[in-house]
Amino acid sequence: MTTVRREAFGRMPREEGGGEVEKFILQSDSVKVEILSLGCIIAALETKDRDGKFSDVVLGFDTLEGYTRKHPFFGAVVGRVANRIAKGRFTMDGKEYQLFLNNGPNSLHGGARGFDKVLWSPQVLPDGVRFFRLSPDGEEGYPGDLKVWVTYTLSGGKLAINYQAQTSKTTPISLTNHAYFNLAGQGSRDVYDHEISIEADSYLPVDDTKIPTGEVAAVQGTGFDLRQPVELGKHLQKFHLDGFDHNFCLQQVQSPRLVARVRHPPTGRTMEVHSTQPGIQFYTGNNLDGSLKGKGAITYPKHSAFCLETQNWPDAVNKPHFPNVLLQPGEEYNHTTWLVFNAA
C-alpha cells in the first residue's frame, strides 16, 4: 500500500517567475520518497537497512533555496537532452541549431534553463505523482513544442520513473533523473565500500571535454569491465582511475531489463536499476568538492555519491551510428526506469 501526501515546499524567487513549489511524499512500508514540482527533483529517498533502520540515501538540500542556487543537478530530471552535445550544435533537415554552452565548449543537460530549473504541473495518482510541462518551440534552442510527462510511482521497494513526450517538430530528446546516491546514507564520506555491477559489454571512450570519440569500445580487459561486481574504491585504485563519468552501452532491446546493481555490504542495502533505455551514465561525483552544504548542513566531498543515469548515448544527435535520439511528430517518446531497493 502506497500513500501520497502533498505539502508546500516554498516559493520561487521573483526573478525566476515566482510560483509555489510543492513536495509530494510517496510512502510504502519499505521506501519513502519526496519529490518536488521544481525540476521533478527527488529531494529525499529513505530506505531500510538490514536492521530495518531508515536512512535517506540521496544528496540534496533541506530548503528550496539550495535548489534555486547553482548545484550539480541533485535529484532532477534533466532535458530536453541529458548529457553533453558537442559544441552545443547539431544539424537536422539541413538546418543548424545552436544551443547554449554551459559545460566548457559543450551544452549539458538541456542548457542554461533546462527541465531541472522549471516548475512542472503536478497531478496526484493513487500510488504516485505525474508532472507535466510544455517546452515551447525554440526553448534553449530546441525545435518544436514538446509536451512532456514524468510519472513517479511507488510499489513496495520499487520506484518507477516513466518519461513520455510528444513533439510538433522533429527534435532530439533524451530524459533522465540525476539523483546522487550513497547507500550508506547521504552525508557519508565516500562510496568506496559500495559494490557495483553494470550489465554492459561496451562503453564510450571520451575526449578531454567528455564528448564520446565515436568509438564503441569493449569493456573486456579494462577498468570499465563491471559485469561482475567490484568494490568501487579498490577498483579505482587498481586501474588508476580518478572516477567514472562514462556511458555504458546496454543491450539494444525495447524490453525492461536489469542494467545495474549496487550493494552496500555494511548496511545490507541494495539498489537495482532496470530500464528500457539504450545507455546508462555511471558518474562517481568527481566534481563534488565539499563546497556545497547539503541536508543537515553536511558537505559533499568528491566521490561521496554515485549516479546511474539511464538515457540515450551522449552526443547521439551528432553521431549517426549511435541509437536514434530524434522524436518525430506523431511518435511518442516513452521510457521507464525502475529503482528497486532491498536490504539483506
**What is the SS3 assignment for 59?**
coil
SS3 content of the chain, % helix, strand, coil (to 5): 10, 45, 50
* Residue 193 neighbours by CB distance under 10 Å: 18
Report the distance separating Cα 332 and Cα 344, nearest Å.
Answer: 39
- According to DSSP, residue 68 is labeled H
Report the distance separating Cα 106 and Cα 158, nearest Å.
Answer: 35
Report the distance separating Cα 204 and Cα 246, nearest Å.
Answer: 7
Out of 139, 140, 272, 309, the active site residue is 309
Active site residue 309: yes
Binding-site residue set:
83-84, 178-180, 245
- Which residues are within 8 A (CB) of 70 and not within 5 positions of it... i.e. 6 or more apart? none
Q: Which residue has 515551447 as its cell numbers?
A: 136
Grid cell locating 150: 514524468
Out of 178, 235, 246, 335, the active site residue is 178
284: left (phi over 0), alpha (psi -120 to 50) or beta: alpha
Active site residue 215: no
Binding-site residue set for beta-D-galactose:
83-84, 178-180, 245
Report the distance separating Cα 325 and Cα 318, nearest Å.
Answer: 10
> How far does Cα 192 stand from its chain's mean position?
20
Residue numbers annotated as active site: 178, 309
